Structure 1
Amino acid sequence: MTDEFDLVVRGGDVIDGTGRPRFAADVGIKEGQVAALTVPGAITGKATLDARGLVVAPGFVDIHSHADWLLPLDDHGEILAPMLRQGVTSLVVGNCGHSLAPVTEDSTRLADVSSEILRDRAFPYAWRSTAEMLDAIEARGVAFNVAFLAGHGTIRQSVMGNAPRAPAPDELDALRRATRDALREGAFGLSAGLAYKPGVFAPSDELASLCNVVAEEGAIFTVHGRAYVWISPFYKPMLLGAPHNVRSVDELVIAAKRGGARLQLSHQIFIGRRTWRTYPTVLRRIEEAVASGVDVAFDAFPYTVGNTTINAILPAWVLDHFEERIRDPKVLARLRREFAMFRLALGLDWSDITVTWGGGKASLEPLEGLDIAAIARRLGVSPFDAYVHVSRESSGAARVLIGTYSGDDTDEEPLRAVLSHRLCAFETDAILTRRGRFHNPASFGTFPRVLGRYSRDLGLFSLEEAVRRMTSFPAERVGLPGVGRLAPGHAADLVLFDPLRVGEGGPNAPPVGIDKVVLGGHVVVDRGAMRLDRPRGRVLRRR
């Protein structure tokens, strides 16, 4: 039959996302969907892509993205172009407890403060409910397929502000109703950020109650835990008992088990050189939870640095009334003592924390790209005082890269153990905006780095398994319809890459070996060149 397809991808090796071995096939695309997988040469189309020597895989799914506050902007495709260039066609947003909705008139101000490091610039909240937000984003058009999570912190702010306490019974009822409404309006799950305000104030009973709602609605609970270090301010007794990151996993597994919810542990990392030794225990705890019947998995990025807010390492007692306490000499004296103890205990140096964006403060711009030790030398103060200075002057909005995440340049044993695990989906956890001159390398190279360094070069897993854990596995975890597999009836989202060359580029540079990216049957990246004539993505909704 002549030209029965809109597009034919010819001559490639198909890795379909299921984990099965690659096979030679031509891919026929019609009306934005994969319509056929056939023996080479059996079909024709109005247009053809030559995939000889290339792997043809489903578009990659970033299960943990922070692109929320860019999506309402007309130029979000340009800002997020590095994600498309590395093969990402689907984003799961609303992570770590912060989402665009639901909001109230009063809580939008709090949402703006919480999202400061995630935003490129301000915009009006032209919605209140999750349904209204999804409609508004859809009407503007999106450059990716986008699935939204409802943020526990955002919901909490809409019900009880940033109150540093457990919810009263009527407030808990309101939290449950708001969570259920968001899920029924199209959110794929509930996310929590238990190291950030206001999630840091949520007790385990609150989490278990909300997990019950998530379970009843058939959704997923994703969570940034309280501790990714072996010792922290969050658990008592501090020095006796299991390491704190183990206690964090235990707390979340118990909450999910009590509520009956599926659980996704966000960015499973081990921060600080003295935390690295705990990775076998954490992974064993997760495996034991699965054996006991809890539906739990996790995700991770392939770097030993990660982005966060400068206040992420502050204890809850400082975050409560932060603007006052960060200026209180008595508070700072106590914090200085605790930091000295924790840094020594963790094996985390001031030089491991680099400021990438100063929160928009002109006085901090010269310090961007410097680590805290270097900033201290420039300012002529102690590293602790330099850290407080950046935190205070930016009102906690400064963005930082922290090193020693599951390894460093000399030792990647924890990182490789995590990435190798069958329950690990790959993610970026990247904050990418035009603000600042320095960016998380995950924004540019996560998926090519997994395919090149960790699969091809180090042989931690097959290429087929690597593709599975960046396509069908995260799509199935979240429940994304029609993405994550290269099969008839699924969206025509494809990545064509050279398995012999694929890998990350230099700092802030496009990857190598990604030949083309197809979204909804349209080529959106051609050898690094963007083709963003109009948004080609879809707003996904849970049904």
Structure 2
Amino acid sequence: MTMQHDILIRNATVIDGTGAPRRVADIAIDADRITAIGDLSGHMAARDIDATGLIAAPGFIDVHTHDDRILFSEPAMRAKVSQGVTTVIGGNCGISLAPMPVPVKRPVTPPLDLLDASGDWYRFPTFASYVAAFEATPAAVNCAHYIGHTTLRAITMDDLSRAANAGEILAMQALVAEAMEAGALGVSTGLAYPPAIAATTEEVIEVTRPIAAHDGLYATHMRDESAHSMEALDESFAVGRALGVQVLISHHKLAGEENFGRSVQTLAHIGDQRAHQEICLDCYPYEASSTILTAAHAKVSPRTIVTWSVGAPEMAGRELADICADWGCDLDAACARLIPAGAVYFRMCEEDVQRILSWPSTMVGSDGLPHDERPHPRLWGTFPRVLGHYARDLGLFDLETAVHKMTGLTAQEIGLPERGELRTGFMADITLFDDRTIADRATYTDPIQPAAGIVLVLVNGAAVWDMGVPTGARPGKYLRRDRGAQRRASVG
């Protein structure tokens, strides 16, 4: 009897996301699931794809994004599907679009303006309303989100320069509890940013406490990523221990020339502590970071590029040093004239980037800022850069390891059942790419460029990127954390 399927991918080189060696096989898809993998030569399909010479991998999971708003404003999600991403994790660094029970204050307090400096995004009074809106009008990709500690502070406190009082902590706890019931992954913090610097470790623990009952995740942009990284790691670990929850160290890095090479110490410390509690980490494959523009950051960055500016919009994409020269002013004066603004800072070394990226338990996240006028190239290039530049060209690790870091490992750590692997019965999130040509084309001077080598991207069995163009399909689902189900699937 001839089997009929919706889609049949034939002769693909399958890298299944587990880290196992590649193999040649056919993949059958019906509705939103993978229904068979193997020799399917006697099977037929409505769409039959010859993938000879191409890699079939699970759809990539971008573990660190700020995509909360763009999922609604640009649901085709071109920056992500064009590089093979099928799931995005938002609400990072303490910054989330929901809940927003009252309009955000104007001008928007940085870094909340990374979601959009206009502030015209008051829409979701509860986290549940955000989830409901996405489920009613989905994007091309799946998503899951944290609730942001900085967002909580901004909507419950009248003065962000101090620690929260008991009443404010209770108010934030109630919002966290509502979000966890609605399907939030956990709470994220951005303790390095001014609106959260005054928060004590005790405040963070108490605000975050409701996630413990839901096996939530504590994801943190640590209080320091330079000279005091070890102390910041210890604070992060302390929060996790106090709550009995998993800790995620976001975009792990060592900033500043005086800290170059210290990833040897930080990774060893993380590794040692993993013997006592659950800890994971992610990074992006670039030696430049990107966030809001401040004079303090720019003064310790050998090179700074402005990515957007309210004060001088025409300066987006230009080097800060050139702006200072044109205006005939010093760095402090230029920054005062530009802000609110965003910037790319060149403050890391390649050796640390490679060491952190190649660490066995490091996941891949873009940390892309989709609302920047001239964004960091990581927004469009992160995943092809890992596969092409680091795996194929430099040989930092093999392709199976690269794929695992952006699929199976992430699904395991975040707790996304039936995602991250090519397996019969799993959801049909699949990226088909040419490992000989895959490459990031986004650069610091020309950052909005789709990658080379991505042939086809399926989300829940529907094509969202096909031969270099978005299809317009919007099959994304809101995903909920369930590590128990994910673990059962992994051993099933």
* TM-score, L = length of structure 1: 0.83
Instruction: Tell me whether 1:353 sits opposite 2:291 in the alignment.
Output: no
Q: 1:368 to 1:123 in 2, by over 3 A?
A: closer
CA pair 38-161 structure 1, distance change in 2 beyond 3 A: farther
The aligned counterpart of 2:319 is 371
- Which secondary structure does the structure 1 equivalent of 2:307 belong to? strand
Say if 2:346 is the partner of 1:403: yes
* Distance in 1 of aligned mates of 2:159 and 2:476: 35
Measure the CA separation in 2 of the matches of 1:485 and 1:115: 34
Question: d(CA) in 2 for partners of 1:495 and 1:37?
Answer: 15
- Give the 5 Å matches for 1:494-505: 494-505=430-441
Corresponding position of 2:332: 384
Q: Which has the higher helix share?
A: 1
Aligned to 1:60: 60
Whether the aligned pair in 2 keeps the contact of 1:222 and 1:265 (CA below 8 Å) is yes
Task: Measure how far apart 1:161 and its partner are.
Answer: 4.1
Q: 2:247 aligns with which of 249, 255, 263?
A: 263
Residue 188 in 1 paired to residue 185 in 2? Answer: yes
Q: In structure 1, how many angstroms separate the alpha carbons of the residues matched to 2:432 and 2:118?
A: 33
* Equivalent position SS for 1:443: helix
Q: In 2 relative to 1, CA 519–257 (structure 1 residues): closer, same or farther, beyond 3 Å?
A: same
1:164 match: 161
Which amino acid letter does the alignment assign opposite residue 466 of structure 1?
A
Aligned counterpart, 1:415? 353
Paired residue type of 2:410: P
Q: Deviations over 1:86-144 (max 9, x none)?
A: 00110000111111212222556687764323228664533311111110122122121
Task: Give % identity.
Answer: 31
Query: Aligned letter for 2:400?
Result: E
Give the aligned partner of residue 381 of structure 2. 445
Gap change, CA 1:124 and 1:29, over 3 Å in 2: same
Q: Is the 1:14–1:25 Cα contact (8 Å) retained in structure 2?
A: yes
| Corresponding position of 2:34 | 34
The letter of the residue matching 1:529 is: V
1:369 positional shift: 2.0
1:478 is aligned to 2:420? no
Give the distance between the partners of 1:120 and 1:491, measured in 2 at CA.
Answer: 36
Q: 1:24 to 1:64 in 2, by over 3 A?
A: same
1:285: which partner in 2? 269
Contact 1:70/1:120, CA 8 A, preserved across alignment: no
CA distance in structure 1 between the aligned counterparts of 2:157 and 2:193, rounded to whole angstroms: 15
Structure 2 Cα separation of the partners of residues 423 and 353 of structure 1 = 31
The answer to whether the Cα contact below 8 Å between 1:276 and 1:414 also exists between their aligned partners in 2 is yes
Structure 2: any 5+ residue segments left out of the alignment? Answer: 483-492
> Following superposition of structure 1 onto structure 2, how do residues 296-335 of structure 1 map, counting pairs within 5 Å?
296-311=279-294, 313=296
Question: Could you give the per-residue CA deviations for residues 363-406 of structure 1, whole angstroms, max 9, x where no partner exists?
Answer: x133222222211111111223223332xxx3xx301011123x
Question: SS at 1:511's partner residue?
Answer: coil
Partner in structure 2 of residue 131 of structure 1: 128
- Aligned equivalent of 1:321: none
CA distance in 2, matches of 1:196, 1:156: 12
The residue type paired with residue 221 of structure 2 is H
Work out the CA distance in 1 between the residues paired with 2:378 and 2:367: 7
Report the equivalent of 1:92.
89
Unpaired segments ≥5 residues, structure 1: 231-243, 315-338
Q: Deviations over 1:191-250 (max 9, x none)?
A: 1111224222210112223454322220101010111111xxxxxxxxxxxxx1121111
Task: Look up the match of 1:429.
Answer: 367
Equivalent-residue separation in structure 2 for 1:162 and 1:99 (angstroms): 19
How do residues 73-152 of structure 1 correspond to structure 2 at under 5 angstroms? 73=73, 75-77=74-76, 80-105=77-102, 107=104, 114-119=111-116, 123-152=120-149
2:72 is paired with a residue of what secondary structure? Answer: coil
Contact 2:104 2:122 (8 Å CA) reproduced: no
Give the whole-Å Cα distance in 1 for the aligned partners of 2:35 and 2:125. Answer: 39
Q: What SS does the aligned partner of 2:37 have?
A: strand
Does residue 13 of structure 1 match 2:19?
Answer: no
Distance 1:70 1:511 in 2: 20
Residues 300 and 426 of structure 1 are in contact (CA less than 8 Å); yes or no, is this contact kept in structure 2? yes
RMSD of equivalent CA atoms: 2.1
2:450 to 510, 515, 534: 510
CA contact 1:107–1:161 (8 Å) conserved in 2: no
Q: Within the alignment, does 1:246 sit opposite 2:230 as a pair?
A: yes
